[in-house]
């Protein structure tokens, strides 16, 4: 889970977001949204 969050963060940084913006995104997501987002990040990595 933590590894996926790191990948998500790296991906968003590459898109030009600041760390603060990324943190806000993660904090504002529900658990279900977060899991879906991290799942999509994981699929992109494979």
Distance of CA 41 to the CA centre of its chain: 7
CB neighbourhood size of 41 (10 A)? 19
- What pLDDT score was predicted for residue 24? 92
Question: For 18, which DSSP code?
Answer: -
Number of domains in the chain: 1
What residues make up the domain containing 11? Answer: 2-45
Alpha helices in 1-46 (DSSP H): 2-14, 19-28, 31-45
**Of 1, 13, 21, 12, nearest in space to 38 by CA:** 1
For the chain (length 46 residues), average pLDDT per consecutive 10? 86 96 89 85 77
């Amino acid at each position: 889970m933590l590894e996926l969050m790191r990948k998500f963060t790296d991906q968003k940084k590459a898109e030009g977001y600041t760390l603060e913006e990324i943190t806000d995104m993660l904090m504002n997501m529900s658990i279900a949204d977060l899991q879906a987002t991290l799942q999509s990040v994981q699929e992109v990595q494979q």
